[in-house]
Chains A and B, each alone.
Chain A
Amino acid sequence: MASPLQRERSGMLAVETLAVAALLGFAGYAALFIAPTEATMGLIQRIFYFHVPSGWTAFVAFFISFFASIAYLRTRAPKWDWLAVSSAEIGVPFIPVMLVTGPIWAKPVWGIWWTWDARLTSTFVLWVLYVCYLLLRTLIDEPERRAVVSAVFGVFAAFDVPLVYFSIWFFRTQHPQPVIGPGGSLDPTMRNVLLLCWAAMLGLFAILLRQRYRLEALRYEVARIRLEGSRRAEPVLPVGKRVNPEMAK
């Protein structure tokens, strides 16, 4: 039976989920029908409204994981390890969104599905790094050691994020230069729809992060209960020195 606090929490979560679903729906509508059609690429350019925000959201996820890993290494508080792994794991599906939508967009525009240029390669490496981060955690049983090793790995993996972002400035790549920010030439309506889509993706990220963090907290709870159970099951005195109840009287 759920307590009033649990019911209130699940009610709040339902309201937040509905709000994010409505925002995602509106963002999808805006991307398809409100944003103007790009003159040279046509309809396929509308992939931009989910391709780019997915990348930005993945970067946010990996930065949160990076800062949580540093916080864990400083404090050794389990909550930072939970946040680091939760955020990293959610960042992982945002990268395939980029890696799947990118080639679908690239084929009609560039004439190729994929090229091993700096941006695409560093993005793929970023995804592999965080998949390795998650695999690494499954290989270490001892919780504290697992948290330390993965925090160190998480800090180093995050260094690929600026490399991905700045790769289009440092190297000659197939990717276009940034269209938003200084020197950007994005139409104001396109920019607003892009930011709306990013807000929707961040909302989705927040909902998933909350759910995933709760999962990690529950794992900790299961380990704690098991430990408590094994302590209760232990004999009070070592074997061979048990007191005979009749003799003790």
Chain B
Amino acid sequence: MKNFESLMVAYLAVWAIFLVYHFTVARRLARLQDEVERLKDTLKQ
């Protein structure tokens, strides 16, 4: 099982990069959706 730790570190790094990116996009998306709703409400008033 030589280099097993290195292999696991590489796999974890791959998923960490994608998860962090996915969460940043999801957070930006949620913030913009809230802003659209807020602006629509303001326009209605």
Contact (Cβ within 8 A) B36 A218: yes
Closest to A102 in B: B10
Contact (Cβ within 8 A) A225 B1: no
Instruction: A226 to B25: give the CA distance in the assembly, Å.
Output: 22
Name the one of A44, A212, A228 contacting B7, with C-beta atoms under 8 angstroms. A44
Instruction: A225 to B44: give the CA distance in the assembly, Å.
Output: 11
Closest to B4 in A: A43
Within 8 A of A (CB), among B1-45: 1-4, 6-7, 9-11, 13-14, 17-18, 20-22, 25-26, 28-29, 32-33, 35-36, 39-40, 42-43
Contact (Cβ within 8 A) B17 A93: yes
Instruction: A82 to B3: give the CA distance in the assembly, Å.
Output: 42
CB distance from A237 to the nearest CB of B (A): 22
Name the one of A90, A100, A221 contacting B10, with C-beta atoms under 8 angstroms. A100
Is A232 an interface residue when CB atoms closer than 8 A count as contact?
yes
CB-CB under 8 A for A208 and B10, given A42-B2, A215-B29, A222-B39: no
CB distance from A34 to the nearest CB of B (A): 15
Instruction: A222 to B29: give the CA distance in the assembly, Å.
Output: 12
CB distance from B33 to the nearest CB of A (A): 7
Is A36 an interface residue when CB atoms closer than 8 A count as contact?
no
Query: How many chain-A residues does the 8 Å CB contact rule pick out?
Result: 34
Name the one of B4, B14, B26, B32 contacting A218, with C-beta atoms under 8 angstroms. B32
Contact (Cβ within 8 A) A215 B36: no
Instruction: List the B side residues contacting A101 at CB < 8 Å.
Output: 10, 13-14
Contact (Cβ within 8 A) A214 B29: yes
Closest to B39 in A: A225
Instruction: A211 to B22: give the CA distance in the assembly, Å.
Output: 9
Instruction: List the A side residues contacting B10 at CB < 8 Å.
Output: 47, 50-51, 100-101, 104-105
Instruction: A13 to B26: give the CA distance in the assembly, Å.
Output: 13
Instruction: List the B side residues contacting A108 at CB < 8 Å.
Output: 2-3, 6
Contact (Cβ within 8 A) B32 A211: no
Within 8 A of B (CB), among A192-249: 204, 208, 211-212, 214-215, 218-219, 221-222, 225-226, 228-229, 232
Question: Residues of B with Cβ closer than 8 Å to A?
Answer: 1-4, 6-7, 9-11, 13-14, 17-18, 20-22, 25-26, 28-29, 32-33, 35-36, 39-40, 42-43
The 9 closest A-B pairs by CB, nearest first: A44-B3, A218-B32, A225-B39, A93-B21, A104-B10, A101-B10, A100-B13, A47-B10, A215-B29
